[in-house]
Amino acid sequence: MATYSRNAKVSCRLLRGVSQSKLTSVSVASYCTSSTAPGATGKIPESAKKGRLLTGATIGFIIAGGAYVSTVDEARFCGWLFTATKLVNPFFALLDPEVAHRLGVSATARGWVPREKRPDPAILGLEVWGRKFSNPIGLAAGFDKNAEAVEGLLGLGFGFVEVGSVTPVPQEGNSKPRIFRLPKEGAVINRCGFNSEGIVAVAKRLGAQHGKRKLDETSSTSPSSQEVKPGGKAGPGILGVNLGKNKTSEDATADYVQGVHTLSQYADYLVINVSSPNTPGLRQLQGRKQLKDLVKKVQAARDEMQWGDEGPPPLLVKIAPDLSKQDLEDIAVVALALHMDGLIISNTTVSRPDPVSRNPVSQEAGGLSGKPLFDLSTSILKEMYVLTRGKIPLIGCGGISSGEDAYKKIRAGATLVQLYTAFAYGGPALIPQMKAELAGCLERDGFKSIHEAVGADCR
């Protein structure tokens, strides 16, 4: 506690220093802005007044926050930091979407984001594939494509983080611009096309993180500590690795097998992505025969490797929401026959449901994600839960932006859930908010755990 108090005092001094320097710069800037030719009245422009007010309000918030956190405990300090991130969201909204994304990944990788110190509500904890999750809310693939910010993302409080999609050979992806915001609809259209630094670069990063994790475990383990804590190979949360194929590859199976051989040792689970709409021919791999042949060969590649007591990482398949009833039935048959470890439902959609269809941006090619995808993806999720008779863990993904949304996915058959677009719009503050809302939903309806609620709407 003494260390924390010292840190809080240091933080306050830094905040005061920053505020003083900002105030000085504001005064100089205002003077220069309002300066005119000799003899002018020196009237301050309206825009300058608004800038001063906004700057002053921001500085006031920082100073007040710095003073406040010096008098409270670590949990409140943590909550204040998450809330404060909302101030940055408008800035990111002004930037080009891909530039904003790049800045977000870099900031997280450098630790310039809050770190969750508060324990998750006990009701959210669960075990899947023999792995303990502190909560079922994860970050979908696409944000951290190259495993640059795993530690920072898990530190935000996600129960699990999925990196990728990772391709065997580095590729630039499709030409820019390739990401388009639809803020009123809470949606995004992207046609990135598996832009990736490749499996070698990702393996180096994950290997370094894995080594650091093992070293920390060795140095912190005491003979009297036998408690099994949530977490996996990357840290306090679970790490998934999403595998993709190169655009010009003629042998998709070989690409996925190479990904398994190189990256599975660092993953708590693996994902075969056969559903991105931005790689030509990829979705054809969801056909019954194609999917069966692919999964059998990738499973064999994983199982032929040497594994310790914990066994090989679970292997999941991510499917599209734009599938016919027959397609879903075929995938369910393959999943049950091959004893697949799980399915992620779903990827982005090529459809443009209302109200997106009325937005001119909807004419852009690519996959749609965000709120408009929720109903479609949840419908597919529910149908797949029924088809697989609840025997296969499902990860619900698509349009989740609140704890209530996550709860609806769980009731529709999801054991775990993922978000991305809502995180891009809402920032870190969304995560603790969603966890609190989800815990409240479970308690409201009398469920004592996540597992009790899974598939409740299908019974």
Quote the pLDDT of residue 310.
83
Q: What CA–CA distances, in Å, run from 11 to 6, 24, 69? A: 9, 20, 9
The conformation of residue 308, written as its DSSP 8-state character, comes to: -
pLDDT attached to residue 64: 59
Q: Which parts of the chain have pLDDT scores under 50?
A: 1-42, 47, 70, 223-225
pLDDT in tens, 237-277: 899 999 999 999 999 999 999 999 999 999 999 999 999 99
CA atoms of 397 and 304, how far apart (whole Å):
31
The SS3 assignment for 271 reads: strand
Active site residue 275: no
Q: Tell me the C-alpha distance between 407 and 412, whole Å.
A: 9
Read off the pLDDT of residues 350-361 as tens digits, 9 standing for 90 and up. 999 989 999 999
Alpha carbon distance 84, 88 (integer Å)? 8
Tokens linked to 135 = 């909560």
- pLDDT, position 236: 78
pTM for the whole structure: 0.83
Q: Which pLDDT value is given to residue 227?
A: 53
Neighbour count for residue 302 (Cβ, 10 Å)? 18
Q: Is 35 helix (H, G, I), strand (E, B) or coil?
A: coil
Is residue 318 classed exposed, middle or buried when 0-12, 13-18 and 19+ CB atoms within 10 A define those classes? buried
Helix (H, G, I), strand (E, B) or coil at 386: helix
pLDDT value for 419: 97
The closest alpha carbon to 30, from 49, 54, 17, belongs to 49
Burial grade of 128 (CB within 10 A; 0-12, 13-18, 19 or more) = buried
The neighbouring-strand residues paired with 367 are 190
Whose CA is closest to 122, among 137, 138, 134?
A: 134
Task: Name the nearest CA neighbour of 356 among 419, 421, 404, 408.
Answer: 421
Which residues, at least 6 apart from 42, have a Cβ–Cβ distance to it below 8 Å?
34, 35, 36
Strand partners, 316: 271, 342
Can you read off the two tokens belonging to residue 428?
Answer: 């870190």
For position 237, what pLDDT does the model report? 86
pLDDT for res 309: 83
Angle between helices 2-34 and 46-69 (to 10 degrees): 170
According to the model, what pLDDT value does residue 456 have?
98
Q: Which of 196, 276, 362, 369 is catalytic?
A: 276
